[in-house]
Amino acid sequence: MNPTDLAFSSALDQAALIRSGEISPLELTQVYLDRIARHNDRLGAYITVAEERAIKTAKQQNEQWSQGDRAALPPFFGVPMPIKDLAPVAGLPCMRGLAALRDRIAEYTPAHVQAIEAAGFNLLGKTSTSELGSMPFTEPMGLPSARNPWHLDYTPGGSSGGAAAAVAAGLAPLAHGSDGGGSVRGPAGCCGLVGFKPSRGRISQAPEGEHLMGLATPGPLTRTVRDAAALLDVMAGYVLGDPYWLPNPETSFLEQTQQAPPHLKIAVASEIPHWPIHRDCQAAVERTAEQLGQLGHELGVGCPDFSDLAAPFQQIFASAIAATGVPPEALSPINRWLMEQAGTAAELWQSMAQLRFLSRQIVGFFADWDILLLPTYAHPIIKIGEWADRSPEETFEAVSRWVMPCPPFNATGQPAISLPAGFDERGLPMSVQLVGKPGADAQVLQLAAQLEGLEGWTQHRPPETVS
């Protein structure tokens, strides 16, 4: 296998190649470091490349690999991957999209990232994020913008935009992300990838209790559903003291993707009440619905009403930015404006109560349906800087209209996955979203794997970075 084909192969395949002795951890790590050196200046996918650390780890793994029992190695021994720069990794910078924090070195590693390292992954570095993770485009003030490998004039989404750009461009086989309002699913959709937001409580956020009052969760960005399931197996788990938790399944998520899901009742939402959806996004949903019908599932038309969620979501995001303690002068205009919108503690509690009430109504919709199919975003991908000349209020309104199909399921805590769904006339990826009942992560992954078997989207590579 040549280095380019190797770089675009799945993490599971790479782990198997290392275990069989066809490639060493150091050789695989060097493939990605070489590609990062060639492409990252244009893409802005990595904000920190941990080259020395990655080579040191790979050499240690090489020695262990050559001397030990390979069958006893952890599942992803020697496979490289990056961590999104909202999550700290002890000893590496953690800027959170803020140029003012360029020199801040993290002092601890959260439990789910420790689990990633324990599974044998070699950390290549930290991927770019929007400032404080608040925007669906990755253009942090004073830092490089992340760009879409399918067309460098367009955004890879946000806030996990660097992670998505890295995987799509073959600068990593898969990546860690986080999703507080679509920040895994949106970038995956923009870059032709699989992005999975697991159920609330599936992945521990220790030593912190929760992010965004339970709205946010870590999740995988991958090229294949099997890789997403396998990385979920690694990241999932309860840590003593977690405010939310779900038991691990008796059978791994990866194994469950090898089984066809049962006959499912699927609500198709190419239109969403009170929100305009671009015709291209509607067409992507309709094409996917046809495929689901071919697979034998029962289809109907339906969608919950999300229209009342915008106001409480804005209040919670504004309060979260205000709570960071970052000086306003260090923030971009949109985040400075959001900080100013933060209300009193009483107003925050009222917003949380409203969000929980609305969440119950949305979850109630799933009493009659197993899966909801809808667009990932409400219109196709925007250009880098497309909204730069708008006021903060206008920008936030545009952002809310674009990402609207994603935040409802952060509110409810339901599992949701973004999947590739072809390309638009510009050659940019389109995507759709599958949402399952609370806790039904395995069923969502099973259905996604079924669709992947029909589509063959894993064979597509962006033209800018295939060499």
Active site residues: 84, 159, 183
- The count of other CB atoms within 10 Å of the CB of residue 291 is 14
CA dist list (Å): 161 to 21, 135, 204, 389? 34, 10, 22, 21
What is the C-alpha to C-alpha distance for residues 231 and 121, in angstroms, rounded to an integer? 10
SS3 131: helix
Burial pattern 322-344, b for ≥16 Cβ within 10 A else e, equals beeebeeebbbebbbbbbebbee
Q: Listing from the earlier edge strand, what are the strands of the sheet with 122-127?
A: 46-49, 122-127, 80-84
- The count of other CB atoms within 10 Å of the CB of residue 305 is 15
Cβ proximity of 173 and 148 under 8 Å: no
> 44 is written with which tokens?
């802005």
Residue 393 burial (C-beta neighbours within 10 Å; 0-12, 13-18, 19+)? exposed
Contacts of 135 (CB under 8 A, 6+ apart): 158, 159, 334, 399
Q: Which amino acid is at 238?
A: Y
Question: DSSP per residue over 222-258, as a string?
Answer: ESSHHHHHHHHHHH-B--TT-SS--PPPSS-HHHHTT
Q: Which amino acid is at 215?
A: L
220: enclosing H helix or E strand:
strand 217-222
Cβ proximity of 446 and 259 under 8 Å: yes
453: enclosing H helix or E strand:
helix 441-455
- Strands 46-49 and 122-127, by their bridges, are antiparallel
SS3 65: helix
- The count of other CB atoms within 10 Å of the CB of residue 38 is 13
What is the C-alpha to C-alpha distance for residues 290 and 292, in angstroms, rounded to an integer? 5
Question: DSSP per residue over 308-341, as a string?
Answer: TSHHHHHHHHHHHHHHT---GGGS-HHHHHHHHH
SS3 180: coil
From its phi and psi, is residue 413 left (phi > 0), alpha (psi between -120 and 50) or beta?
Answer: left
